[in-house]
Each structure stands twice: as structure tokens, then as C-alpha cells.
Amino acid sequence: MTASPQTDFARRYGPWSLVAGGSEGLGASLAAQAATRGLDLVLVARSRQRLDETARNLRDQHGCQVRTIAADLTSRQAVADLFQQTADLEIGLLLCNAALAPIGPFLEQDAEIQDQTVALNCLATQAMVHHYGNEMVARRRGGILLMSSMASFQGTALVAHYAATKAYLRVLAEGLWQELRPMGVDVLASCPGPIDTPAFRRTKPHLPLWLLPRPASPDLVARQTLDALGRGPVVIPQATARLTARITRLLPGRLQRHMVSAGTKAMYNS
């Protein structure tokens, strides 16, 4: 297949999109969506083999250019190296998707994994937004996606630490929407419910029939997320997840935290 003609999306957010965590799951779907809209891709993840497979599929299906960078973004040095490795590219769309999501009681979690969760979900994202955001503002155009979660809307048992990092990302996006939009850069936090990705399946969830929406397909979440760029600072992809979030947020805070925590405990049989 040949490269797509330049779309409005590509004019606004092209020519290159960097996808942190772009080798599988939602990140691979976001990369495919960006390619469908005419962008070339930089994929970043740890596993060289998965990166190469995904890059090959994207080149075959979309005719786009794909650069792969194998890096562990929990390392500050790796993030600094990433900036060097992309210095020759105009990154118009930054998709901050990679995350760690430890599940279980906070006090029983490994403290080092908790540090890595902040390093990846918060610090690496903050550094990438700072670096590429400055370049976008200088060009007066661009887009930044921070992958948050419905978990960002309330403190929740078993995912307390993860949810707190996702709240950081959502609140950061809301503030940056205000700061950067007048300078031509759109910032968005996407807050999906469960998504049927390999990482989600590896957590072996029991899906309760109440409270939590059914897992969404990564392609649907990716499409609805990129459709929402420029329309506001926060999107909840998938209609049932939006409805669940609306109903939950009508409840008093104490009840909301109790019900969502009960749903999460049921999901992980705890």
C-alpha cells in the first residue's frame, strides 16, 4: 500500500508521531491510527523483537516510515538519549502511552516497582512533554496525548498508586490545554475503562458484571482518542465507559470510591 495523501490531521500534527509504548496493545493501535491519518512513526518500547514486528506490519499496511528505538523509559538517561535519537525529526504528535500498572495492596507492593511506576508514568512523560512541547510551541502547532485512565477519577483500592499517577496525567493535560492551546498545541488526556490488550489480559481479571464497562477494543479506543484531539482536554473513549463514568461521578465521593474499589476487588478476587 502507498502512503496516504496529506490529511488535515497530518498538516496539524505531522509529519512524525512518537509513540511511547508503541510496540503492542493500545500503543500499536494508536500508531496504526496515526499512520492511517498520514503520519510517519517513531515507536519506543523495550522489546526489540516486538518493535520490529509491529514496525514491519505498519510499513506493510500503511506505507509509512517507521523508526524503532529500543529503550526503557524508566531510565532518565534513556529518555535523554531518546531526544538525541529523534533530533533530526519533526515530532508533531507525541503519544505518551507506556505505563506500569502494579495491582495489589499498596503496602505489599515492591517499593522499587512503585518507583519505576512514577519514573515511567510521570517523570518520563513530564520530560517528553517538556522537550517535544517546546519544539511544537516554536513551530506553533502540534498535539500531545497523555494516556490516563478512568482510574484517574477517584482513589481506588488495589490500584491506589497507579490511579494516582493517572490522576497526575489527567490534571497535567487539563492545565496544559489551557497553557498551550493559544500557542497552537493541543493537549489531551484519554481516560478509558478496561481495554482488551495483552497487558490487561496478563493481569488475569475476573470481569464483574456490574460497575466496570466491558473491555473495549484497543482500535476503538485509539480511534476515538485521536478523533478527540483539539476538542477539549479530556476524553473518555467508548460509550459504555462514558456512561459508567457519568453515573459514578453523580454519586457522593465516599460512595463513588467505595463502589469502584469494590468493583476492582471483585475483578482481582481480593
Ligand X SMILES: NC(=O)c1ccc[n+]([C@@H]2O[C@H](COP(=O)([O-])OP(=O)(O)OC[C@H]3O[C@@H](n4cnc5c(N)ncnc54)[C@H](OP(=O)(O)O)[C@@H]3O)[C@@H](O)[C@H]2O)c1
- Residue numbers at the binding site for ligand X (CB under 6 A): 21-27, 44-47, 50, 72-74, 97-99, 101, 120, 147, 149, 192, 194-195, 197, 199-200
Alpha-carbon dihedral angle through residues 52, 57, 58, 59, given to the nearest 10 degrees = 90
The residues, any chain, with a CB within 8 Å of residue 56's CB and separated by 6 or more, are none
CB of 232 to ligand X, least distance (A): 18
44 has which bridge partners? 20, 69
Could you tell me the smallest distance in angstroms from the CB atom of residue 204 to ligand X?
13
With respect to ligand X, which residue has the nearer C-beta, 10 or 229? 229
Nearer to ligand X, 6 or 47 (CB): 47
User: Least distance to ligand X from the beta carbon of 135, Å?
Assistant: 21
CA distance 25 to 28: 6
Q: Minimum distance between the CB of residue 120 and ligand X, rounded to whole angstroms?
A: 5
- Give 183's contacts (C-beta < 8 A, 6+ positions apart): 137, 140
Q: Which is nearer to ligand X, 30 or 64 (CB)?
A: 30
Considering the complex, state which of residue 39 and residue 44 has its C-beta at the smaller distance from ligand X. 44
Least Cβ distance, residue 145 to ligand X (angstroms)? 10
Nearer to ligand X, 24 or 186 (CB): 24
Phi and psi dihedrals of 46, rounded to 5? -85, -45
Q: In whole angstroms, how far apart are CA 240 and each of 27, 166, 195? A: 22, 20, 12
